[in-house]
């Protein structure tokens, strides 16, 4: 069988061009891929300015890593949230000195850094006289809240959803210690965060 070398060269050139075009298209698709997540850091939603709330939204569910660094680049905290497309989490800087901090959020789309310029709250030390504890009630979707301390009235109990929206609020008029159980099945919303505060500011924040 006689092979036409001219035709063979034409076929090889055509295949090479298709391969180059396909490879270029793939590379272009990767290089132009855009972040589909939205990251917002807010503060001052409550009386306590030491609490910074991270609100995260993405088009697809995945694993998210949250890291907080001080001005020297030292890792202070690392939080891993698995298989989520949206959540809202509070981070309490009450024990940290004033200064600049970096909050780094990393997901499958990449990494984004938010700078936090933290100033010490004047009421931070006032919360040390009140002890707040939140415990899960075994075998149920209930959480027991206990607040121990004198002259703590009124106490506001707030539930926020994954988007940072207030979905339930309760006000407790007690001059002494108290305990109350909350059934979260009756609270509408996903990715709930429980926040407890009184007139001095935020006493406790818990991601449920």
Structure tokens at 20: 């180059």
Domain 124-207, what fold?
A: Immunoglobulin-like (2.60.40)
How confident is the prediction along the chain (208 residues), in pLDDT tens digits per residue?
454 555 545 544 444 443 433 443 333 332 233 455 678 777 644 445 678 888 898 888 999 999 999 989 999 888 889 898 988 888 888 778 878 899 999 999 899 999 888 876 543 334 457 788 888 887 788 889 988 877 667 889 999 887 788 899 999 887 778 899 999 888 887 778 888 888 777 888 887 7
Round the average pLDDT of the chain to a whole number and report it.
75
Percent of the chain with pLDDT over 70: 73
Tokens for 43, please give them. 């503060």
Pick left, alpha or beta for residue 201 (phi over 0 → left; psi -120 to 50 → alpha; otherwise beta). Answer: left
The full DSSP string for 16-37 is: HHHHHHHHHHHHHHHHT-----
pLDDT of residue 47: 47
Each domain of the chain, given as residue ranges in start order, spans 38-118, 124-207
Read off φ and ψ for residue 207, nearest 5 degrees: -85, 115
Asked whether this chain's domains 38-118 and 124-207 adopt the same fold, the reply is yes
Write the pLDDT tens digit of every residue in 152-196.
Answer: 678 899 998 877 888 999 998 877 788 999 998 888 877 788 888
The whole-number pLDDT of residue 12 equals 42
Structure tokens at 121: 């709250």
Nearest to 50 by CA among 14, 106, 113, 99: 99
DSSP structure string for 166-191: EEEEEEE--SS-EEEEEEGGGS--SS
The CATH T-level fold of domain 38-118 is Immunoglobulin-like (2.60.40)
Q: Give the contacts of 187 (CB within 8 A, at least 6 positions apart).
A: 159, 167, 168
In sequence order, which residues have a C-beta less than 8 Å from that of residue 112 and are 6 or more positions away? 35, 37, 39, 104, 105, 106
User: pTM for the whole thing?
Assistant: 0.47
């Amino acid at each position: 069988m006689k092979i036409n070398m001219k035709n063979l060269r034409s076929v090889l050139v055509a295949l090479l061009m298709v391969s180059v075009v396909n490879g270029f298209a793939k590379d272009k698709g990767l290089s132009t891929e855009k972040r589909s997540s939205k990251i917002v850091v807010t503060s001052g939603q409550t009386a306590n300015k030491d609490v910074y709330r991270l609100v995260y939204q993405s088009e697809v569910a995945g694993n998210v890593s949250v890291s907080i660094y001080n001005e020297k680049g030292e890792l202070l905290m690392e939080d891993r949230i698995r298989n989520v497309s949206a959540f809202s989490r509070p981070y309490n800087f009450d024990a940290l000195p004033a200064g600049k901090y970096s909050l780094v959020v990393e997901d499958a789309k990449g990494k984004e850094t938010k700078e936090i310029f933290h100033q010490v709250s004047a009421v931070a030390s006032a919360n040390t006289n009140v002890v707040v504890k939140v415990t899960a009630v075994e075998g149920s979707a209930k959480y027991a809240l206990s607040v121990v301390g004198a002259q703590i009235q009124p106490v506001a109990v707030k539930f926020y959803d994954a988007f940072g929206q207030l979905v339930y609020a309760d006000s407790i008029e007690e001059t002494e210690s108290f305990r109350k159980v909350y059934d979260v099945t009756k609270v509408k919303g996903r990715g709930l965060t429980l926040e407890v505060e009184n007139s001095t500011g935020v006493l406790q924040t818990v991601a449920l």
